[in-house]
A and B are shown apart, each in its own frame.
Chain A
Amino acid sequence: MSVFGRHAFGFRMPSIVFGIAAIFIFYLICRTLVRRGLPTLAEAGRAGTWNYWFQPVVFVPLLATFLFAVDPLSFDLAHIGMLDVFSVTLMLLGFLFYLRGRQQPLGGRRVYYYGDRYRHAWQRQENC
């Protein structure tokens, strides 16, 4: 409120920012989960074509994200000045980091940076 002002915009704007961030984080989580056992985004086709958007690896995360965005509870919490949306967003962010961390070798910044040599067998099976 000291940043945005002492009115409705001031005490509801942080919730909106975190609510919009939660949409992106939820999309990344869904894309990470759906990617297992399915063709990668690069194999699904060229982005922008009609066939591309209806591939499961593309369509399922988008549908889930759309349902999350228009869900009445998350929608209401994302534009009123309550504290729930902050905890939800940070929990989703933690879960995303957990998923990403499982896919990377310990201490590594990028999977492709080290190649497949140092990745464990269970990681090779379920990744990409």
Chain B
Amino acid sequence: MYGSSDLLILCATAAVLVCAGIYLSRLRFRYIALSIIGLAFFSFCLALFSLTVSSELTDLHKVILAMFIRFAVPLVFFCLSSIVTIRLAINRQHTPDNKPAASSLIDRYNSGVMAAWAELRRWFTRAENRAVCAIAWVMAMVHLYFINKPTFYLGDEGYYVPEANRILNRQALLVLEHPPLAK
């Protein structure tokens, strides 16, 4: 059964989608904005549906909700980063000598959250940061290789994971803590 935390995630996702849609509509990406606002509306409908008739949720609804929760946020970030990349390319094209951009539509990318996000993306592609990116990439691959080894719980996982499972199943806690560390 889906609890309040899942509904909170869903509503937060829908709010992010609405913000993205409004932002994109201001940038005249009308079709993408309309599709994202449609996704947000769909998620709100799902949230309302699960709030009202949560006891009658079928497995199909659960699968749709779970897939939406897991993939909507990465999808939004992917769309936003792609759009920023495209717009920065347009900006570069219009301002070859680092002159201030002529259009207010392009000026918007030189400040604010999107500029910070674009700057973060550029940081990983700079030549001077190649070495630390290589170190992090290799370590990520090693971590992912060892992620299922060993198959038993290591250290405090033996306490946290069963407790987290019980929290997700809305069952009583095994070890009474306040607040529970497994949460």
Contacts and interface: CB of A to CB of B under 8 A. Distances in A.
Interface of A: 1-3, 6, 8-9, 11-13, 16, 19-20, 23-24, 27, 41, 47-48, 53, 58, 61-62, 65-66, 69-70, 75, 78-83
Contacts of A1: 161, 164-165, 168
B148 A8 contact: yes
B157 interface: yes
Contact of B131 (A20, A62, A75, A79): A62
A23 to B, nearest CB: 5
A23 B157 contact: no
B126 A80 contact: no
B148 A69 contact: no
A6 B165 contact: yes
Interface residues on B, range: 20 to 34
Q: Give the interface SS of chain A, mostly helix, strand, loop or mixed.
A: helix
Contacts of A11: 157, 160-161, 164
Interface string B1-21: 000011001000000000000
Contact of B132 (A16, A65, A80): A65
A24 B137 CA distance: 11
28 contacts: A1-B161, A2-B5, A2-B9, A3-B69, A6-B168, A8-B147, A11-B157, A11-B161, A12-B147, A16-B143, A20-B136, A23-B135, A23-B136, A23-B139, A53-B131, A61-B132, A62-B132, A65-B132, A65-B135, A66-B135, A69-B136, A70-B139, A79-B147, A81-B161, A82-B155, A82-B156, A83-B160, A83-B181
